[in-house]
Structure formats: structure tokens, C-alpha cells
Structure 1
């Protein structure tokens, strides 16, 4: 199988978040973009965390139960983030996805700055496209 690169299948304009953003604004962005989550970045576009729909839901429920005011992304985000590089191999990423839970991986450059995101669906589509190209060659 030809070497498939993350850069060829990633989304180059993902929805991103800042740590001080209200959860409600993050939820609105996720819903509008139909994105399952996204990287939380600092002013230099370096990833400092990740927030998912599940993280937002948990924080909003907790705020509702405790009758609290709005929360910030920083209070709900995860700070340990699995990332990939644009030159990484899609097959290696697929194997990583089988071992780890994230459905969405931020794609970063060698300085840790966000370049895009890639999802499990993107990886599946890349592998499917590659397999179909081999079927056509055999026929």
C-alpha cells in the first residue's frame, strides 16, 4: 500500500478554542461546525488542551445541578492531548486509533502549532480510497 500521509486527509481549518472561552460559546462552535471536539490553543497557536462534546456536556450538567454561572473551557478541557504530525502515516494512525480512544487528533507542526485535525472517519476514508484504487488496478 502506498504511503498515505496525514497531511493529505486532514482538515486544515478546524474549529479551535481558547482557555478563557465560555463553555456555551465552545458548544455553539462545535454544533455549528459539526465537529466532535477540538484543540484549545494559546496566542501562538500552540495546543494547550482539547475539549470534546462530552467534556462540554459534563461541565454544563454540573453547572445546571449546582446552579453555577458559566464555566470556561479551561475548567473542562483535557491537558493531555494525543497529536499527530502531517508527515505521519495514515496506517500508523489507524493502528494508534485502535489502541487509544480519541476520535479526533490535532495535527501539529514540529513546534507544536496547530495545522489541522484528522478524525477516525478521515482515516477510514483514506484507507477505503486506497483499497479501492488497488481493486481497480486488478480488474
Structure 2
């Protein structure tokens, strides 16, 4: 199980944002994607930050009260995202996800370029598949 890596289960085509994107446009992208957040990247796919539904919710609520919005993604994004490596173990990711709040992590290469994202659902799928494979292989010899 330790040999199963993040790279085996990551989403290679996540929703992403640019730092100068308006919050309203970012919210539309989030809603269409079904993701709970996504990496903020530059033109070279370097991860600059992370934008979550919670970040957007706060800013959209504020805009509702003020009846206007002038915010862009860089105003509300988390500028210190936790990136994981494609070679990280799924078991380590599962352990990390039971304690830390992020539901979704950017997966970056050693240069900080985005390779995809890994979610709790991706990790659950990997664990579930492993358990089913183990169960099936164990019953073959009975």
C-alpha cells in the first residue's frame, strides 16, 4: 500500500485560477467544476496560492452587503498553499487529510509547477481499490 503514490490518483485537469481573475468569475468556475477549491497559477503553471469556496464565500457575502465587488483572486487566496509531491504515498496523504483542514491539495513537481490536485475523494478511491484488490486476491486461494 505504501507504494501507491499520489500520481496514481491525482486529477490531472483541475480547475485553476489566475491571481488577477475577478472573484465572480472564479466562483463561476468553481461551481461548474464541482471542486471545493483550486490552485492559483501563473502563466508557467507555478503555484502562487490556493482559492477555496470558503475564501470566495466570505468575499461574496461582503460584496452582497456593500452591493458591489471589486475583488480579485489575489485579494482572498491563501498565499501559502501546501503542495504535495506526485511521489508522496497515498497512505501518508490519508493520514495528513485526517488531521489537516484542506480537502484538496495541489500536486507540484520539484520546481513548484502544478501537475494536478489530489482530493479526499481521490484518496478514498485509492484506499477502497486497494482494499478490494486485497480482499479479492485473498479469496482466490481459499
TM-score (norm 1): 0.96
- The answer to whether the 8 Å contact 2:56/2:76 transfers is yes
| Equivalences for residues 74-89 of structure 1 within 5 A | 74-89=74-89
Q: Which moved more, 1:3-12 or 1:59-68?
A: 59-68
SS at match of 2:70: coil
User: Where does structure 1 differ by over 4 angstroms across 4 or more consecutive aligned residues?
Assistant: none
SS at match of 2:83: coil
Which blocks of at least 5 consecutive residues in structure 1 are unaligned? none
- The answer to whether the 8 Å contact 1:24/1:70 transfers is no
| Alignment deviations for residues 27-75 of structure 1 (CA, whole Å, 9 cap, x no partner) | 1111111111000011221111100111111101011112333310111
- The answer to whether the 8 Å contact 2:2/2:90 transfers is no
| Alignment deviations for residues 97-126 of structure 1 (CA, whole Å, 9 cap, x no partner) | 112100000000000000100100100110
SS at match of 2:98: helix
Name the CA distance, whole Å, in 2 between partners of 1:6 and 1:129: 14
SS at match of 1:51: strand
How much is the aligned-residue C-alpha RMSD, in angstroms? Answer: 1.0
Identify the residue that residue 115 of structure 1 maps to in structure 2. Answer: 115
